[in-house]
Structure 1
Amino acid sequence: MSYIDQITKHLPSLSKVPIRLPHSQQERLAVVLGTTAVVGTSLVLPALYRDYEIFISYGPGGPPSNLLGWVVVRTLFQPFMSEMLDTEVYTQRVDALEGHGAGGEGYLNLTPEQARPIADRPIVGPHVAPQRQLTQLPEDEIRDKLDAAFKAFGFRNHHLVKWSRSLQEAHADALFLADHIAAFGIAKHTNGELAHIHNGGDHSAHFCLSPADCKKVIEAGWGQRHGFSGTSAITWLSLGTRPDVPVEYLLIYAPRNDAEIDTFMQILAASIKFTTGREDVR
């Protein structure tokens, strides 16, 4: 008798081992639910972790950049997220804001050459806040040039704007309405904050533009609304302590080259003309 035969003859025959299959409906249901839970967990947990990684990749801005911030955004903020590319709302609002002197034309004139391909918009993160783009990010050299141009614009226009910490982002400096200019319209609604760049990451920006210019920017492939714009989300979530995001509050995509920096600054100038009610932007 071989060694293998000597070992296996002491093992119980598999035919003698009782195998119990679930017979009742409750037992079969338990097996199905258990299997579904295992498979579902193996699929859902990696997806949730990837979503969390994207949220953390935005860096500081708005909600806390940690696990608690991610949970709050996904459970409380996300249900309020609205559509961000339709321009019909601006056609209806051209004459809704008084005192800006822009009529239905706005302040911005973009040429066809300045437009970005509509079918090739940058991918924007799936979270309603912070709002950041994930693709078409500028090189370091372009980021530095954009930061310099933005700061120079603020200093040139000190008669209209001042620098202060952003109320919306909390981790970036923003342009605010100068103290000696009375706030009205959109500027009053945003507590004087007019524009900021997300200089800790993608270098996109948020500006407030006239309804006519909002339409031009979106149709030229240069931006989109904030996911909260035109909703009552902020007022409801803050229990009335903060105003809602106006529908004229736009995400402006980051420029990728010198020519696009010029267009970006042109959009900024149009924003400051609209929010200050002044034409003497330098």
Structure 2
Amino acid sequence: MPITTLTSVLRHFHTAQDRLTLALSAAALVVSTLILPAAYRDYKLFISYGPGGVPNNALGWVLVRALFQPFGREMFSTDEYVRRIEAAEGHGKGNDGFLSLSEEQLGSRRGEERPVVGPHVVPQRQLTQVPDEAIMEKFRTAFSAFGHRNQHLVKFQKSNLERHANGLFVADYIPVYGIAETMKREVAHIHSGNDHSVHVVLAPADCIKVIEAGWGQRHAFSGAPAMTFLSLGTRPNIPAEYVLIYAPRTEAEIEMVMQIVSAGVEFMTGREDVR
């Protein structure tokens, strides 16, 4: 529209009511052409994650974006773990940790581009570098076999956090303290309905190893006061040691991810007889 024509049109909006009508019309145009399409794309991405700890529907999406998102933290710094090691918190073997992978094995992902992880704080899912169905099945089989092989230490139970997948929990007869008690014994779970990434609780030194080597990252709520606040005090906060391990893409990576899970079991049980 020519400037002269636009100016002549605007002259007609000389009352407050006219100007308000114009402003509302302009706002509606912006919402309909820019905001609504972007919001719809964001909603569809959220739905694509599949079942998780929040409802996989419009209500869940609104809750995550409106209430949960502000509590998210950055997910790659390891400074917090250094402080925990220096303060001798927990039973994490100091700078050593429990992870038995060699530097060469750990370094196999170093320098690679990390998978893209979805922008929503929950559920935490990776969007790229997702394994094929054959690897997914082999990973589930390896995870199940590990649990049954270590029934003296762990048991399978519905995940407290995911709610739609079984997780590994510290066996009932083993006393738990600190982080294991906070996590209500949950050690690890696979996101078996989607990308096959893993959440696992690791010793601070092992968190440093896997994050710096490119094998994973923290959960956005790890170490944040989110859960207690959002649940009105009915659920504990997620500890900083709760990390996301990227989905294995090959049989060799399945073995390495299972070594990471094994380290989590040692940390949470305080036992070394993991098979």
With structure 1 as the length reference, what TM-score do the two structures score?
0.89
Give the deviation of 1:259 after TM superposition.
Answer: 1.1
**SS of residue in 2 equivalent to 1:264:** helix
Tell me how far apart the structure 2 counterparts of residues 20 and 261 of structure 1 sit (CA, whole Å). 66
Alignment-derived partner of residue 104 in structure 2: 112
How many residues are matched?
264
Query: 1:96: how far off?
Result: 4.0
Alpha-carbon offset, residue 31 of structure 1 = 2.7
Q: Does 1:150 align with 2:150?
A: no
Q: List aligned pairs for 1:83-162, cutoff 5 A.
A: 83-96=74-87, 100=91, 102-108=93-99, 109-115=101-107, 116-118=109-111, 120-162=113-155
Determine the structure 2 residue equivalent to 1:77: 68
**Greater Rg by CA:** 1
Could you tell me whether the CA contact under 8 Å between 2:200 and 2:245 is conserved in 1? yes
Cα gap change, 1:247/1:21 in structure 2, threshold over 3 Å: closer, same or farther? Answer: same
Per-residue deviation at 1:161? 0.2
Give structure 1 stretches of 5+ with no counterpart: 1-18
* Partner-residue secondary structure (3-state), 2:168: strand
Displacement of 1:110 in angstroms is: 3.9
- Superposed displacement of residue 37, structure 1: 2.7
Structure 2 residue 36 is matched with structure 1 residue 22:
no
* Counterparts in 2 of 1:118 and 1:127: CA distance versus 1, 3 Å: farther
Kept in 2: contact 1:206–1:252 (CA 8 A) = yes
User: Structure 2: which 5+ residue stretches go unaligned?
Assistant: 1-8
SS class of match (2:118): coil
CA RMSD across the alignment: 1.8
Q: In the superposition, relative to structure 1, how do residues 101 and 55 fare at CA in structure 2: closer, same or farther (>3 Å)?
A: closer
Match of 1:169 among 162, 176, 180: 162
TM superposition shift of 1:119: 5.2
1:85: how far off?
A: 0.4
- 1:12 is matched with none
CA contact (8 A) 1:118 1:219 kept: no
Pair 75,118 (structure 1): closer, same or farther in 2 beyond 3 Å:
farther
Equivalent AA in structure 2 for residue 268 of structure 1 = V
Per the alignment, do residues 112 and 33 of structure 1 end up closer, same or farther by CA in structure 2, a change over 3 Å counting?
A: farther
Cross-structure match for 1:220: 213
**Residue 53 (structure 1) aligns with:** 44
Q: Tell me the equivalent position of 1:4.
A: none
Would you say 1:202 and 2:195 are equivalent positions? Answer: yes
Q: 1:246 aligns with which of 230, 234, 239?
A: 239
Equivalent position of 1:5 in the other structure: none
The percent identity for this pair of structures is 57
Q: Confirm or deny: 8 A CA contact 2:106 2:210 kept in the other structure.
A: no
1:271 equivalent to 2:261? Answer no
SS state at 2:240 partner: coil
- Aligned in 2, Cα 1:86/1:247: closer, same or farther, shift over 3 Å? same
How far residue 98 of structure 1 moved from its aligned partner, in angstroms, is 5.0
